[in-house]
Amino acid sequence: MEYQFTIVVPLYNEAPNLLRVEQELDKYIQKAPIRTCVLFVNDGSTDNSLQLVQEISRRNTAFKYISFDQNYGLSSAIKAGFDRAETPLIGYIDSDLQTDPEDFDLLLEQIGEYDLVTGVRTDRKDSFKKNLSSLVANGIRRSFTQDGMDDTGCPLKVIKADYAKRIPMFKGLHRFLPAMILLQNGKIKQVPVRHYPRIAGKAKFHLLNRLVGPFVDCFAYLWMRRNYINYKVAQKNE
């Protein structure tokens, strides 16, 4: 029986979290409503994250991995996962597990008529500074994209593979996934999901790159929106 859903897990120096990630995702896979696998994307970690994902993949056939030769950033890791997934549905969750894999079910319930369903973190367990910077960054991005999303940075999403694979690679794309689906004339929806404090490891984003990065990336998005080409094939002969 083939897999129907791939959960992409980008990671960079997340060794303290990975055994818990394996445990929680394996628990989810056992009761997921569709046949599910996991794809780790090691973004050039300098700790022993690669060794751990190799060990996890050896003992559990539902877990696979790819590993970069150096650190390219979250957007590259997510895009690489999308490109290499071989299932009709693709999910995304962060390796810090501040969102719950079980909440994928809430997103999967809605994906039928939509092309991307994203979580909205309720009762966020982050610091005041992090919550404030995310609120400001989301406001900036929403004013540029008009995508109507309240929490585009939520690391829990389900996307139809046809749409995910057409997203162009650019720095900061992880902040614009719903907007990139809209560019393809797709339909998007947000669903409330749970949120938890980070238990281990360190956050990779700080105040500066939560505010300056999204602002600069918005101009790249505007350029892309003006120049994006959408097409549908009417006939083909194969």
Instruction: Provide the CATH number for the domain around residue 166.
Output: 3.90.550.10
pLDDT at position 211: 58
pLDDT at position 80: 95
Nearest Cα neighbor of 189 from 160, 162, 220, 217 is 160
Average pLDDT over every residue of 105-131: 82
204 pLDDT higher than 60: no
**pLDDT tens-digit series, residues 158-195:** 999 999 999 887 777 778 899 889 889 999 999 999 98
pLDDT at position 230: 74
201 pLDDT higher than 60: no
Nearest Cα neighbor of 156 from 10, 4, 32 is 10
200 pLDDT higher than 70: no
- Residue 113: Cβ-neighbour burial (10 angstroms; 0-12, 13-18, 19+): exposed
**pLDDT tens-digit series, residues 6-20:** 999 999 999 999 999
Q: Which residue has the tokens 């008529």?
A: 113
pLDDT at position 218: 72
pLDDT at position 1: 61
Domain count, the chain: 1
146 domain-assigned: yes
- Residue 220: Cβ-neighbour burial (10 angstroms; 0-12, 13-18, 19+): middle
The band of 24, judged by pLDDT with boundaries at 50, 70 and 90, is very high
Please answer whether residues 114 and 156 qualify as being in contact, where contact means their C-beta atoms are separated by less than 8 angstroms. no
233 domain-assigned: no
238 domain-assigned: no
**pLDDT tens-digit series, residues 119-149:** 988 876 555 456 555 665 665 666 566 676 7
More confident residue, 235 or 194: 194
Please answer whether residues 194 and 99 qualify as being in contact, where contact means their C-beta atoms are separated by less than 8 angstroms. yes
157 domain-assigned: yes
More confident residue, 90 or 197: 90
Q: Which domain holds residue 199?
A: 5-227
56 domain-assigned: yes
235 domain-assigned: no
> What amino acid is encoded at 48 in this protein?
N
236 domain-assigned: no
